Amino acid sequence: MFSLLGASAKLCDGLTRREWLRIGGLGTLGLSLPNLLEARDLLPAGVLPTDKTFGKAKNVIFLYLLGGPPQHETFDPKPGAPLEVRGPFKPIHTNVPGIDFCELLPRTAQIADKLAIVRSISTDDNNHDSSGYQLLTGYKYIGPNSRTIQATDWPCLSSMVKMLKPSEVLPPLSAVTIPDLWRLNENVTPAGQSGGFLGSQWSPDVFVGDPAATNYKVQGLQLSSLPPLRVRQREGLLQQVERHFAAAERGEYSRNYQKFQQQSFELMTSTRARDAFDLSKEPDVLRRAYGLTTWGQSLLLSRRLIESGVRLVHVNWPREPGDNAVDNPLWDTHAQNADRVEDVLCPQFDVSFSAFINDLDQRGLLSETLVVAIGEFGRTPSINANGGRDHWGPVFSFAMAGAGIAAGQAYGASDANGAYPARDKVSGGDLTATIFHLLGIPHSSTFHDREGREHKLTLGSPIYPILGLDPATRERRECTGDLARVPPFSQITLLNTDFEANVPLYSGDTNRPKGWRGFPLIDSPTDRFGVSLVTGDSAQSLSGRNHVGMGIHRSPSPLRIAKGETAFLTQEIRSPFAGKYLLKVPVRATGSSREFFDDVFLKQFSFRLQFFQFTTNAKLATERKELASITFVPRIAEQPKDYEIFTLEKVFENPSPGGNFSFGLGMGIAIIIEKTAEGVLTVPIADMAILQIDDVSVEFTGKTRIETVKV
Q: Residue 609, CB half-sphere, CA atoms under 13 Å: how many? A: 21
Per residue in 116-126, pLDDT (tens digit) is: 999 999 999 99
Q: What whole-number distance in Å separates Cα of residue 309 and Cα of residue 402? A: 17
DSSP secondary structure letters along 504-527: --EETT---S-S-EEESB--STT-
Residue 490, in any domain of the structure: no
Residue bearing the bigger pLDDT, 380 or 658: 380
Range in 59-68, 422-431, 466-475, 656-665 the model is least confident about: 656-665
Query: Does the pLDDT at position 415 exceed 60?
Result: yes
Place 525 in a pLDDT band, splitting at 50, 70 and 90.
low
Query: Are 515 and 469 in a shared domain?
Result: no
Query: Does the pLDDT at position 21 exceed 70?
Result: no
Query: Does the pLDDT at position 264 exceed 60?
Result: no
Residue 59, in any domain of the structure: yes
Residue 707, in any domain of the structure: no
Rg (alpha carbons) of the chain, rounded to whole number: 30
Whether residue 154 contacts residue 202, with contact meaning beta carbons closer than 8 Å, is answered with no
Whether residue 557 contacts residue 545, with contact meaning beta carbons closer than 8 Å, is answered with no
Query: Are 210 and 246 in a shared domain?
Result: no
What does the angle CA 87 – CA 63 – CA 35 come to, to the nearest 5 degrees?
A: 135
| Cis bond before residue 513 (omega within 30° of 0) | yes
**C-alpha to C-alpha distances, 435 to 61, 161, 176, 477, nearest whole angstrom:** 10, 10, 16, 30
Whether residue 468 contacts residue 404, with contact meaning beta carbons closer than 8 Å, is answered with yes
Q: Exposed, middle or buried, 512 (CB in 10 Å: 0-12/13-18/19+)?
A: exposed
Query: Does the pLDDT at position 127 exceed 50?
Result: yes
Average pLDDT over residues 453-466: 95
Query: Are 157 and 285 in a shared domain?
Result: yes
Query: Over the chain, what is the mean pLDDT?
Result: 87
User: 187: domain CATH number?
Assistant: 3.40.720.10
Query: Are 318 and 407 in a shared domain?
Result: yes
pLDDT for position 655: 66
Per residue in 90-118, pLDDT (tens digit) is: 999 999 999 999 999 999 999 999 999 99
Q: What whole-number distance in Å separates Cα of residue 330 and Cα of residue 320? A: 7
Per residue in 489-515, pLDDT (tens digit) is: 999 999 999 999 989 999 988 888 899
Q: What whole-number distance in Å separates Cα of residue 147 and Cα of residue 129? A: 6
Residue 495, in any domain of the structure: no
pLDDT for position 524: 73
Whether residue 330 contacts residue 67, with contact meaning beta carbons closer than 8 Å, is answered with yes
* E strand spans, 439-502: 446-448, 454-456
CA 443 to chain centre: 30
Average pLDDT over residues 646-670: 86
**C-alpha to C-alpha distances, 121 to 396, 412, 426, nearest whole angstrom:** 6, 8, 4
pLDDT for position 259: 42
**C-alpha to C-alpha distances, 497 to 90, 169, 610, nearest whole angstrom:** 28, 51, 16
Query: Are 208 and 254 in a shared domain?
Result: no
pLDDT for position 509: 84
Residue 708, in any domain of the structure: no
CA-based nearest residue to 258, from 268, 249, 266, 246:
249
* Domains held by the chain: number: 3
Query: Are 318 and 464 in a shared domain?
Result: yes
Range in 40-44, 300-304, 620-624, 658-662 the model is least confident about: 40-44
* E strand spans, 216-258: none
pLDDT for position 511: 84
Q: Is the entire prediction scored with pTM above 0.95? A: no
DSSP secondary structure letters along 553-621: ---SS-EEEETT-EEEEEEEPSS--SEEEEEEEEEEEEES-HHHIIIIIHHHEEEEEEEEEE-STT--T
Q: What whole-number distance in Å separates Cα of residue 564 and Cα of residue 674? A: 6
Query: Does the pLDDT at position 624 exceed 50?
Result: yes
DSSP secondary structure letters along 388-455: ---EE-SSEEEEEEETTB--SEEESEE-TTSSSEEE--B-HHHHHHHHHHHHT--TT-EEE-TT--EE
Range in 107-121, 246-260, 427-441, 587-601 the model is least confident about: 246-260
| Cis bond before residue 179 (omega within 30° of 0) | yes
Query: Are 533 and 645 in a shared domain?
Result: yes
Residue 121 DSSP one-character state: E
Residue bearing the bigger pLDDT, 273 or 384: 384
Sheet (strand 409-411) strand order: 205-206, 175-178, 312-316, 59-64, 369-374, 396-402, 115-121, 409-411
pLDDT for position 331: 98
Residue 496, in any domain of the structure: no
Average pLDDT over residues 478-495: 95
* Domain limit, last residue, from 236, 261, 286: 261
Query: Are 252 and 272 in a shared domain?
Result: no
Residues 6+ apart with CB under 8 A from 344: 320, 489, 574, 575
Query: Are 462 and 513 in a shared domain?
Result: no
Query: Are 195 and 250 in a shared domain?
Result: no
pLDDT for position 242: 54
DSSP bridge partners of 315: 63, 178
User: 688: domain CATH number?
Assistant: 2.60.120.260
Per residue in 307-363, pLDDT (tens digit) is: 999 999 999 999 998 888 889 999 999 999 999 999 999 999 999 999 999 999 999
DSSP secondary structure letters along 299-310: HHHHHHHHHHT-
End-to-end alpha carbon distance in the chain: 24
Average pLDDT over residues 124-142: 97
Whether residue 114 contacts residue 361, with contact meaning beta carbons closer than 8 Å, is answered with yes
Quickly count: other Cβ atoms within 10 Å of residue 617's Cβ: 15
Q: What whole-number distance in Å separates Cα of residue 117 and Cα of residue 244? A: 50
pLDDT for position 8: 34
pLDDT for position 660: 77
DSSP bridge partners of 52: none
Q: What whole-number distance in Å separates Cα of residue 70 and Cα of residue 89? A: 12
Tell me which residue range forms the domain holding 618.
506-701
Residue 492, in any domain of the structure: no
Helix (H) or strand (E) holding 41: helix 33-41
Strand, helix or coil for residue 157: helix
Query: Does the pLDDT at position 574 exceed 90?
Result: yes
Residue bearing the bigger pLDDT, 358 or 260: 358
Average pLDDT over residues 532-549: 94
Q: What whole-number distance in Å separates Cα of residue 32 and Cα of residue 10? A: 19
pLDDT for position 31: 42
Whether residue 143 contacts residue 705, with contact meaning beta carbons closer than 8 Å, is answered with no
Query: Are 141 and 236 in a shared domain?
Result: no
Percent of the chain having pLDDT more than 90? 72
pLDDT for position 589: 97
Residue 404, in any domain of the structure: yes
Torsion of CA 512, 518, 521, 523, to 10 degrees: -60
Query: Does the pLDDT at position 555 exceed 90?
Result: no
Strand, helix or coil for residue 138: coil
Whether residue 539 contacts residue 556, with contact meaning beta carbons closer than 8 Å, is answered with no
Query: Are 241 and 93 in a shared domain?
Result: no
Could you tell me where the DSSP H helices lie in 593-710?
Answer: 594-596, 602-604
